Amino acid sequence: MLGRADVYESVNIAFNADLTPWTAHRPATLYFVENGQIRGSFLTINARDRWGFLISAMGAFGYTADDITPERATGIIRLAAGVPDLDVKILGIAPWTASAHVAEQYRHGRIFLAGDAAHEMPPTGGFGLNTGVQDVHNLVWKLGAVLKGLASPSLLDTYHDERQPVARAITEQSLINATSMGRLEQTRKNAGARSEYLNEQGMIFGAVYASRAVVPDGAEAPLAANPITEYVPSARPGARAPHVFVQHEGQQLSTIDIVGKGFVLLTAGGGRSWVEAASDLAGDDALPLRALSINDGAFASAYEIDTSGAVLVRPDGHIGWRSRSITHDPSGALRDAISMILHTGN
C-alpha cells in the first residue's frame, strides 16, 4: 500500500434522541460541532430521532477508543448538542482507524482489487464508496469484453493504469480535507475546513484516463483555475462524456442518459456515414455498439466536433476516441479505433 496507514482514530456512535428542536429549521446531512471540550459531527439518519455521532481528534480532548463506554458516549452527545439533560439511548459504538493509502498494483494475474481492497481514505468528503463504484464500472466492461472474446486479455492491464492514479489523487485530497478539519490534530484549536471541502466538482467529474484503452487525438486538457473545485467539461479522449441536453426522437435527453450501455457512437447531424459504419461493425463482430445522430448545435459545440464529426463513448461513460470531422473511410477509422481500445490489432 502506498501512502499512510493509521492516520487517526475515531469512533462512530449510533443513538436515538430527539434533536428536531435544534435541527428541523435547518435540515442538513452533517452538523459539525466544535467547542473547548469536543470536536465531532452529528450524522443525519432519519432527521428525527435516529442519529449518528462521529468523534474527531479524540486525543486532543483526552479520549481513546477504549474510553467510549455507553455512559461516556451519552455524556459526549449531550455535550455536543449543548443539552445537559437530553434523553439519549445508545444503540451502538464502533471504533475505527482511518488510513490514506492505495494499492501499489490493482492486478495480479487473475486477481483484481477494487473498492476498499484497493484504497482506504479518510471519509472526509465521502469519496470512498464513489471511488469503489467507479473502479468496478471501469473494470467490468473490460472483463466482459475479454470473456466474450471481443478484446485481448491485455485490455485488463488498463484497469490499473486508469484507476490507480485517480484513487491516489482522491485519497490525497481526502487526507488534506481531514487535516483541515482537525481530524489529525492533537490540539483543541482547529483552523477550520479548507474552501475545497465539499466543493470538489473538478475532482469528482474531471478525471481523465490515459491508457491504451484511449485513443488520443492531440487535444490539450482544458485549463481550470482550481482543478479540485472547478469542473471544465471536455470531450477530449479519456474524459467523462460531457452532459448536454439534446432532442432525440422527440424528447429531451441528456447525453449522460444515452451513454453507459455498451459502446455508443455519437455523431452530429451530418455524420450519417458514421452511423452506417457503426451498424456494419456491430453486425460483423457482435460488438455492443449503437450509434445516434444528434442534430443539435449544442452537442457539436460541447463535444468540439463539426457537423460531420463523431465521438465513441466507452461503456463506462468515458470517451475512447473522437474524430472532429468525417474521414474518407469512416468504417476503417471506426474499426481501427475500436481495435486500439480493445487491443485486438495485430
CATH number of the domain residue 42 falls in: 3.30.9.10
Share of the chain above pLDDT 70, in %: 97
Say what the pLDDT of residue 173 is: 95
Say what the pLDDT of residue 273 is: 94
192 occurs within a structural domain? no
Q: What is the mean pLDDT of the chain?
A: 92
Q: Say whether both 128 and 154 belong to one domain.
A: yes
Contact partners, residue 326, CB within 8 Å, separation at least 6:
270, 271, 273, 274, 308, 309, 310
Domain span at residue 290 reads: 245-342
Q: What is the mean pLDDT of residues 75-85?
A: 96
Q: Say whether both 64 and 112 belong to one domain.
A: no
Tally the domains of the chain.
Answer: 3
Q: 196 pLDDT exceeds 80?
A: yes
Q: Say whether both 268 and 336 belong to one domain.
A: yes
Q: Say whether both 336 and 281 belong to one domain.
A: yes
Q: Say whether both 88 and 31 belong to one domain.
A: yes
Q: What is the mean pLDDT of residues 99-117?
A: 97
Which of 118, 152, 187 is the last residue before a domain boundary?
187
Q: Which pLDDT band holds residue 260 (cuts at 50, 70, 90)?
A: confident
Which of 155, 187, 219 is the last residue before a domain boundary?
187
Q: Which pLDDT band holds residue 34 (cuts at 50, 70, 90)?
A: confident
Tell me the one-letter amino acid at 282: A
What span, in angstroms and rounded, lies between the C-alpha atoms of 234 and 294? 18
255 occurs within a structural domain? yes
Q: Say whether both 135 and 108 belong to one domain.
A: yes
90 occurs within a structural domain? yes
Share of the chain above pLDDT 90, in %: 76
327 occurs within a structural domain? yes
Tell me the one-letter amino acid at 194: R
Q: 248 pLDDT exceeds 70?
A: yes
Say what the pLDDT of residue 314 is: 97
Q: Say whether both 62 and 113 belong to one domain.
A: no
Contact partners, residue 12, CB within 8 Å, separation at least 6:
43, 52, 53, 54, 93, 94, 95, 96
Say what the pLDDT of residue 204 is: 92
Tell me the one-letter amino acid at 292: L
Matching residue, cell 456491430: 282
Instruction: State the DSSP code for 206.
Output: -
What span, in angstroms and rounded, lies between the C-alpha atoms of 209 and 341? 12
Query: Among 42-46, 165-169, 271-275, where is mean pLDDT lowest?
Result: 271-275
Say what the pLDDT of residue 215 is: 97
CB neighbours of residue 231 within 10 Å: 18
Q: Which pLDDT band holds residue 186 (cuts at 50, 70, 90)?
A: low
Q: 104 pLDDT exceeds 90?
A: yes
pTM for this prediction: 0.90
The answer to whether 129 and 139 are in contact (CB under 8 A) is no
What span, in angstroms and rounded, lies between the C-alpha atoms of 159 and 139? 6
Helix residue spans in the chain (DSSP H):
20-23, 70-81, 128-147, 157-180, 201-205, 255-258, 272-285, 297-302, 330-342
Q: What is the mean pLDDT of residues 234-240?
A: 97
Q: 35 pLDDT exceeds 70?
A: yes
Say what the pLDDT of residue 112 is: 98
Residue 263 sits at the vertex; the CA angle it makes with 130 and 258, to the nearest 5 degrees, is 70
| Phi, psi (deg, nearest 5) at residue 338 | -65, -40
Which of 99, 120, 153 is the last residue before a domain boundary?
99
Grid coordinates given for 31: 452538523
CATH number reported for the structural domain that contains residue 170 in this entry: 3.50.50.60
| Phi, psi (deg, nearest 5) at residue 44 | -70, 130
Tell me the one-letter amino acid at 110: R
204 occurs within a structural domain? no
Q: 13 pLDDT exceeds 90?
A: yes
Q: Which pLDDT band holds residue 191 (cuts at 50, 70, 90)?
A: low
Task: Give the residue among 317, 331, 3 at the shortest CA–CA distance from 133.
Answer: 317
264 occurs within a structural domain? yes
Q: Say whether both 24 and 92 belong to one domain.
A: yes
Say what the pLDDT of residue 71 is: 96
198 occurs within a structural domain? no
Say what the pLDDT of residue 232 is: 95
The answer to whether 321 and 341 are in contact (CB under 8 A) is yes
Q: Say whether both 280 and 304 belong to one domain.
A: yes
Q: Say whether both 257 and 320 belong to one domain.
A: yes
7 occurs within a structural domain? yes
Q: Which pLDDT band holds residue 190 (cuts at 50, 70, 90)?
A: low
Say what the pLDDT of residue 106 is: 98
